Amino acid sequence: MGNTVGSTSTNFCNFFLNDKDAYILGLWCADSYWWSSSIGLSNIDPDLINRFREFFRKHFLENRIKFNRNHLFVNSRPLLREFVAAKNSLEKLKKNNIIKAYFPG
């Protein structure tokens, strides 16, 4: 069951099953932009920022997504926990298509 906009579900991502989510995880792992209860991407490449923004839009209302100079982020402890847990479990990346999506990120 995936999360819908405005939902409080903590099942945001399928990092180890979905290549688009694996790519987003790879982007975040390379950057690891987070603090307290916020998570996002710090980058000067507008294409990468837009990819992360599209990921956020699948899960959050637009007014929850913040952009400050080169930092795109949302305040969401559940999402942050999910990303950190995935980063600490990268050995679960087993399918070739998922691994190939993760590394370019």
> What residue ranges do the domains of the chain occupy?
33-102
Each residue's pLDDT tens digit, 79-103: 999 999 999 999 998 888 889 998 8
78 CB-near residues (< 8 Å, 6+ apart): 8, 10, 12
**Average of per-residue pLDDT across 38-54:** 94
Q: What is the mean pLDDT of the chain?
A: 87
Residue type at 99 in one-letter notation: I
pLDDT at 10: 59
Give residue 67's region: left, alpha or beta (phi > 0; psi -120 to 50).
beta
